[in-house]
Amino acid sequence: MDKADGLSQARQNLADYLRLNSLRNTPERNALLEAIYQADVPMQAEELSKLMTEGAASLRISRATVYNNLKLFEEAGLVRKIFQEDRIFFERTDKNRGVIRLICSGCGKTTEMNSDKVRRQIAVMRTRRFNATGWVLNVYGFCGKCSADLKRKQNRLNKKDKDKK
């Protein structure tokens, strides 16, 4: 699925979602969706708000409207939130786009990885009566540093046990 296909599919999904929920489709909503889908990087709400009101688009859209629409897009499965440090970013979701996150249970550090094998598996997965628009896979474990710390702690405990005997 290339970029343009993803956008037209997202537009269709948005129109369906709005109709199902008796909401109006507006040029502002479509412009915001387009901005997110054309951005190659996850964007913050603030950046998107600026993009809408300044520059080529120069729409009359309040920051509150941008925030509300981002929430709506998220509910509709069109965008997803990414938490990085203490900031929130938004990025497009597509069936073939997904994130594999490695989350350390020790320090909470999250890294992303790519696996074409997993990606392909999910792309061919059949979801009955469900129109998948994106996915996130969380893998829990311990990062290199925390693994080493754990091992050290364990060794110390073992040593104490031995000393007792």
**Residues of this chain that bind Zn ion (CB under 5 A):** 104, 106-107, 109, 143, 146
Pull the structure tokens for residue 89: 């970013």
Q: At what angle do helices 3-20 and 27-38 cross, to 10 degrees?
A: 150
> Which residue number, 23 or 148, has a Cβ lying nearer to Zn ion?
148
Q: How far is the CB of 141 from Zn ion (least distance, A)?
A: 9
Q: How far is the CB of 145 from Zn ion (least distance, A)?
A: 5
> Which residue number, 130 or 140, has a Cβ lying nearer to Zn ion?
140
Q: How far is the CB of 100 from Zn ion (least distance, A)?
A: 17
Q: How far is the CB of 137 from Zn ion (least distance, A)?
A: 19
- In sequence order, the 6+-apart residues with CB closer than 8 A to the CB of 1 are 9, 94, 95, 96
The full DSSP string for 113-135 is E--HHHHHHHHH---TT-----E
Residue 135's nearest CA partner among 120, 147, 149 is 120
> Which residue number, 104 or 118, has a Cβ lying nearer to Zn ion?
104
Residue that is written with structure tokens 């040029």 in the block: 27
Identity at 56, one-letter amino acid code? A
Q: How far is the CB of 98 from Zn ion (least distance, A)?
A: 23
> Which residue number, 109 or 156, has a Cβ lying nearer to Zn ion?
109
> Which residue number, 104 or 137, has a Cβ lying nearer to Zn ion?
104
What size, in residues, is the chain?
A: 165
